[in-house]
Structure 1
Amino acid sequence: MDWSLLGATLGGIGLLLLGMHIMTDGLREAAGDALRGLLVRATGRPLRAVASGVLITGIVQSSSAVTVATIGFVNAGLLNLTQAIPVIYGSNVGTTATAWLVALVGFHIDVRLLALPMIGVGMLLRVFAGPRRIGAVGMALVGFGIFFTGIDTLRVAFADIGSQMPIAQLVSGGWLGLFVALGLGFALTLLMQSSSAALTIILTVAAGGMVALPSAAVMVIGANLGTTSTALIAVIGATPNARRAAAAHFAFNLGTGVVALLLLPLLLWLLSLVAESTGEGASAAAVLALFHTAFNVLGVLIFLPLTPRLVAFVSARFRTAEEDLARPQHLDGTLLHTPSLALDALARELERAAALSRGCLIDALQPDHAAERLAAREATVTRLVDSIGDYCQQLQQTSMSADSAMAMAEALQALRHIGETAASARTLSESAASLSELPAEAREAVSEFAIYARAQMQAPEDSESDREARYQASKAELLRADSRVPVRTAVRHLERLGVIRDGLRSALRARQHLEALPRQAIGAELSN
């Protein structure tokens, strides 16, 4: 190959990527925070979420940017999966705007008449307006101009390369050619991290006659699938929900690509007729732009009704240990028809929740506990308590015997105290009260009460009155040191002592209610 042609090709690709980068950044800066507000507000309903994905991607000209931003919102908790996944559908449709821009404008203009003036006007706006919104619009114009210059450079370079390299032979000839074309499209997007740039190259190659239309269409499918690489890279180390959103993106693009491959001959035939009827002629660029839009819209029509199932599928993946602990292991909706069996399952689930909440409180009483880990465990117990509470509500709506009703009351009392135990653990973890602030006697009294509380939770031996006496003794020792420590410091430690006392009481009362529960729960209905 002539080295000048290779240089022109690399230069054209560079101009293309530079133009896309400047254009996307300029449009995003010009839009400001309005796009973020639109994305968060317009996701209440699936169709609105899809429309917001289409609109925002069409504005910023980057489906990767919109997808990564959406995953970021999921990561931050601003969007849930049900809201985010339709936005990702829409972003795939929105990115087809680039193909239309290339097909309708890129090959039908004199670059010198449009691209260069756009660069000049855009830079003037940037220079005189500075970083304000109008300056951002100017940079977007500069990006468009460079983008079209890159298209023209590639078009000329590819026309000469096509006569020297039999590229068409690489992507034709049965299944092997199909996979090669698919891989080339995927690799282009992966390497350039821009499906829009990859599509532009594919359309340019097809328009120059270097690749047959069916092979170019398969490359478009590969480029569409390659878009998922950006999202998959972005979620490395992210939250499970963010990884689930990226997995849903991959599933959508993969499923859409499979459908497009299966319907490829039919779609190309129909879309060629449509292109001819609209006056565009059956040009390769126009047909490919139609094809790109058609199979993405078809994917939305297929996947949108399946979104709840897709959410359920990805929700079962990428689970953390905390999420697994938060899922009830014994509760079964089919047992609700036999309240005695449901109460037995409830008792076992409450035992598990009580053990988890006691573990949280015991760890919170450790002077060197890990606050973040403890907060995650406490949130796990809270979610489990909420799930058990929902189950209790369903169980209360069934017809129960008097014995089972009494057992249900015990279960609800146990559930309340389990929640209070976990809340005490959270309060202790969040409180900033260092024992080094206290005199030796008071420090020893507070420390000994924490050690005593841990021991009592693991193996309760004293009565409630004995535990109260130990609390009052520690409190008195702390009050005697009141004159030697600042008032706020003393108040913090007094409050901490009270939280320890209340948490210990809740943990042991939950244990008492659970000990009474099985004797009343089992066999009440079965004997009737």
Structure 2
Amino acid sequence: MRRTLFPRSALGLAVCLLGGAAWAQNGGGRPEVDWVELAMGFLGGLVLFLFGVSQLAEGLREAAGERVKSLLGRATDGPVRGLLTGVVATTLLDSSSVTIILLIGLVDAGLMGFAQALPVILGSNIGTTVSSQIFALGVDEYAPVMMLAGLLLRALSSRDDVKAGGTALLGVGLVLFGLHVLSDAVEPLRDHPVVLDWIKGMSTPLLGVLAGAAFTLLIQSSSATLGVVIVMAGQGLIELPTGLAIMLGAEIGTCSDTLVATVGRSRHAVRAGVFHLLFNCVSVAIGVLLIDWLAAFARFTSGEVPNQIANAHVAFNLVGAAVFLPFSARIAALLARAIPDRGAPGGVGQTEPVPRPAE
């Protein structure tokens, strides 16, 4: 049994596909697939998608970055407001990682208390679900219009805010166009036995979680992972249980860059990054245990697998935030003891810095 785990990993899929390609070329009776064309289409679509995500993030940061910083700095009036602030900030920036990295900077600078940052982190996870809903809408056919409009705004306007909006719109168009290219590229795999056998193996939740975490670590974007999953589900390559497992794995993979952002910062900033990791790991573990219930809910919400995955993504993050929010202050106290200030072993005598008003 143990020997079957490796071929079903992401690397195992590549090996299987290469073997399947050679087998088909040798006349083995498999469906004919132009593997070079497929690989070029997949890589091209993925590059367009990731570049679009980068452009979108850049445009949104330029258009709303300072306002988001000010918004985050004032999210200290209770856990519910902090949660909503995280949702709004992540929706505006289209990246929970960017939101949390900004948050870590504010905590490190003493502009926000560590305990007040935890609800914002919970809200940022909810904010990431907006992009998955957009991907599931299937509006990629309008991508060229968005790209042209964004390019014209950048080229013709003399106002910086309008140019930033054009960059963001161009990014949205590139993201959707990249998804369209990806969808066309993987279409020949729908009936390929090698791929179908691999996907059956990935129906084991643990393998799906590992694949989702690894892919997200590789491309540094949980939104991109969800986009690829939704595209593959739309082509019938991924069934709901596999898509949910990869979705859960993406929640863990997205923690890497926020942990890196805590290196060399204050203990309060480190605790914020550790909380993000612990919250995602615990909620994913619970999600794996309850994955059948999550799948049942997803099937209830829609008849299409891409929409089911997007809706499950929303439900998972909403429930996780609702469960942990009432205990955020207690969790903050436990983390303060687990990660004490330098020179204060065990956390004795620690004090939370008083947040300074954001400028």
Bin the TM-score by the shorter chain.
0.7 to 0.9
Matched, 1:84 2:105: no
Give CA deviations for 1:117-141 in whole Å, capped at 9, x if unaligned: 2111111111122461011101111
Please say if residues 217 and 256 of structure 2, whose CA atoms lie closer than 8 Å, have aligned partners that are also in contact: yes
In structure 2, relative to structure 1, the CA distance for the partners of 1:165 and 1:126 (3 Å cut) is farther
3-state DSSP of counterpart to 1:43: coil
Q: CA deviation at 1:11?
A: 0.8
Q: Which runs of 4+ in 1 moved over 2 A?
A: 161-175, 317-328
Query: Shift of residue 265 of structure 1?
Result: 1.1
From 320, 327, 330, the equivalent of 1:309 is: 330
The one-character-per-residue Cα deviations of 1:365-422 (angstroms, maximum 9, x if unpaired) are xxxxxxxxxxxxxxx9xx7xxxxxxxxxxxxxxxxxxxxxxxxxxxxxxxxxxxxxxx
The alignment status of 1:24 with 2:52, answered yes or no, reads: no
Cα shift at 1:193: 0.9
Q: Which has the higher contact order (CA 8 A, sep 6+)?
A: 2
Task: Give the letter for the 2:248 counterpart.
Answer: I
Paired residues of 2:52 and 2:170 also in contact (CA < 8 A): yes
Residue of structure 1 equivalent to 2:136: 103
Q: Tell me whether 258-267 or 57-66 shows the greater mean CA deviation.
A: 258-267
Contact 2:140–2:179 (CA under 8 A) maintained in structure 1: no
Distance of aligned partners of 1:110 and 1:36 in 2 relative to their CA distance in 1, 3 Å threshold: closer
CA–CA separation in structure 2 for the residues paired with 1:192 and 1:11: 14
CA distance in 2: counterparts of 1:293 and 1:16, whole angstroms: 22
Cα separation, 2, equivalents of 1:303 and 1:160: 43
What percent identity do the matched residue pairs reach?
33
Does the 8 Å contact 1:43/1:87 carry over to 2? no
SS of 2:58's partner is helix
Q: Which amino acid aligns with 2:130?
A: A
Residue 127 in 1 paired to residue 155 in 2?
yes
1:244 Cα offset (Å): 0.6
CA-to-aligned-CA distance 1:201-234 (integer Å, 9 cap, x gap): 1111111111221011010000111111111121
Deviation at 1:45, TM superposition (A): 0.9
What is the identity, as a one-letter code, of the residue corresponding to 1:303? F
| Structure 2 counterpart of 1:145 | 173
Give 1:262 deviation, angstroms: 1.8
Question: Conserved in 1, the CA contact under 8 Å of 2:338 and 2:347?
Answer: no
Say if 1:102 and 1:200, in contact at 8 Å, map to a contact too.
yes
1:397-476 pair list within 5 angstroms: none
Q: Which residue of 2 aligns with 1:219?
A: 246
In the TM superposition, what is the alpha-carbon distance from 1:68 to its structure 2 partner?
1.0
The 8 Å contact of residues 115 and 329 in structure 2, kept in 1 or not, is answered as yes
How big is the alpha-carbon RMSD for the aligned residues of Structure 1 and Structure 2? 2.0
1:477-498 deviation digits (Å, cap 9, x = unpaired): xxxxxxxxxxxxxxxxxxxxxx
CA 1:308 to 1:180, structure 2 compared with 1: closer, same or farther past 3 Å? Answer: same
CA offset digits 1:283-341 (Å, max 9, x no partner): 1111001100101111011101111221112112333432339835xxxxxxxxxxxxx
Contact 1:244/1:317 (<8 A) preserved: no
Q: How many residues align?
A: 318
More divergent stretch after superposition (156-165 vs 129-138): 156-165
Aligned letter for 1:260? G
Residues in 2 aligned to 1:284 and 1:208: alpha-carbon distance in whole angstroms:
10
Q: Which runs of 5+ in 1 are unaligned?
A: 276-281, 329-379, 384-528
2:345 to 324, 343, 346: 324
* 1:269 paired to 2:302: no
TM-score, normalising length: structure 2:
0.84
Look up the SS of the partner of 2:338 in the other structure: coil
Aligned position for 1:13: 46
Distance 1:125 1:302, change over 3 A: same
Does 2:122 match 1:94? no
User: Shift of the alpha carbon at 1:65?
Assistant: 0.5
TM-score normalised by the chain length of structure 1: 0.58
In structure 2, what is the equivalent of residue 245 of structure 1? 272
SS at match of 1:6: helix
Structure 1 counterpart SS, 2:300: helix
Please state how far the C-alpha of 1:165 moved relative to its aligned partner: 6.2
Matched residue, 2:37: 4
Distance 1:236-1:244 versus aligned 2 partners, 3 A rule: same
Kept after mapping to 2: 8 A contact 1:255/1:299: no
Deviations for 1:34-86, whole angstroms, at most 9, x for unmatched residues?
11111111332100000010011111111111011111111111111211111
Q: Distance in 2 between matches of 1:92 and 1:225?
A: 11
Structure whose CA Rg is larger: 1
Q: What SS does structure 1 have at the residue aligned with 2:340? A: coil
Tell which deviates more after alignment, 311-320 or 30-39: 311-320
User: Residues 64 and 230 of structure 1 are in contact (CA less than 8 Å); yes or no, is this contact kept in structure 2?
Assistant: yes
